Amino acid sequence: MYRSFKQIINISVIICIVSASVFFLLCMSAASATASSSYVHFSATGGMSNAGDGPQQITIVREGDTSNETMKVLIQVVNSSLADSEYQFGPTLLSWDAGDNSSRNLTVTVPATIKDNIRQTITFGLIKVEGNGSVSDPASYEMAIDFPINEPAATPVPSMTPTPSPSLMATISPGVTAITNGSPSIPQNGTTNNSTAVVSPTDMNNSTATVSSAQDMPIVMFGGLVSLGVLIAAGYLLLFKRK
């Protein structure tokens, strides 16, 4: 009986040691992976611009430990209220070598086309296509564009040059003077029709971007729950199976 009880204690101790070791290894592995990963994201979540202001720059930054990691990121249009032909953007693929943590710029050009809706939006997204790093928040950028209002041209003021008409003479009775009637001729107002040509930039392909997320800690929580269960089982064996 004593020998069997001693074996139970030894097995419980071994289980506790193994569980604690696995738990600490998982914690160290997750912390190491987080510390050594690089992250690529937009420097801001969005911004404003005016159509016709020329190329607009959107900054993409890279952070973290990049010493042993290369990475390629694709830029896609997630959503847009403009047609593909109404704006240009590029480059669509960004790449970083190991040790390179410099930022990159996305250039967006929207011509000053007259729009019925004054404000339009384009949302860009990042998706990793190659490498060991990851995409982190903010992984999307909403660009709002204000367009000029289509105001009608002012109507020109016509010149007032009177044109005399033939005089009308009427003699009614002796002592009544003649009446001369003249009426000016007024030209009609002119109407100006404004129309603006729509500039069609190079067509770009819109597709939905799937944004990847950084590493998290679910596996560490699972390891902790397993270790806690083993410790409870070991304590039960030590306290109650002794009888």
Q: Give the integer Cα–Cα distance in Å for 164 and 152.
A: 35
Residue in the structure block whose two tokens are 């967006």 = 108
Q: What is the pLDDT of residue 206?
A: 43
The pTM of the full predicted model, rounded to 2 decimals, is 0.51
pLDDT score for 203:
41
Per-residue pLDDT, 232 = 79
| From the candidate CATH numbers 3.30.56.10, 3.40.50.2020, 2.40.10.10, 2.60.40.2030, the one assigned to the domain spanning 38-148+202-214 | 2.60.40.2030
Domain boundaries, the chain: 1-37+216-243, 38-148+202-214
Place of tokens 């790093």: 133
pLDDT at res. 69: 92
Residue 225 has, within 13 A of its CA and on its CB side, a CA count of 6
pLDDT confidence of residue 199: 39
The answer to whether the beta carbons of residues 185 and 159 sit under 8 Å apart is no
> For residue 117, what is the DSSP state?
S
Residues shown for the chain: 243
pLDDT along the chain (243 residues), means of 10: 63 69 59 64 96 95 93 96 94 96 96 84 96 94 90 64 56 50 46 41 42 52 75 70 53
The pLDDT, as a whole number, for residue 21 is 63
Residue 41 · residue 83 · CB < 8 Å = no
pLDDT given for residue 189 in this prediction: 47
| Chain segment 78-121, per-residue pLDDT in tens | 999 999 999 999 999 999 999 999 999 999 999 988 887 789 99
Per-residue tokens: 126: 């990042």
Phi, psi of 143 (to 5 degrees): -100, 120
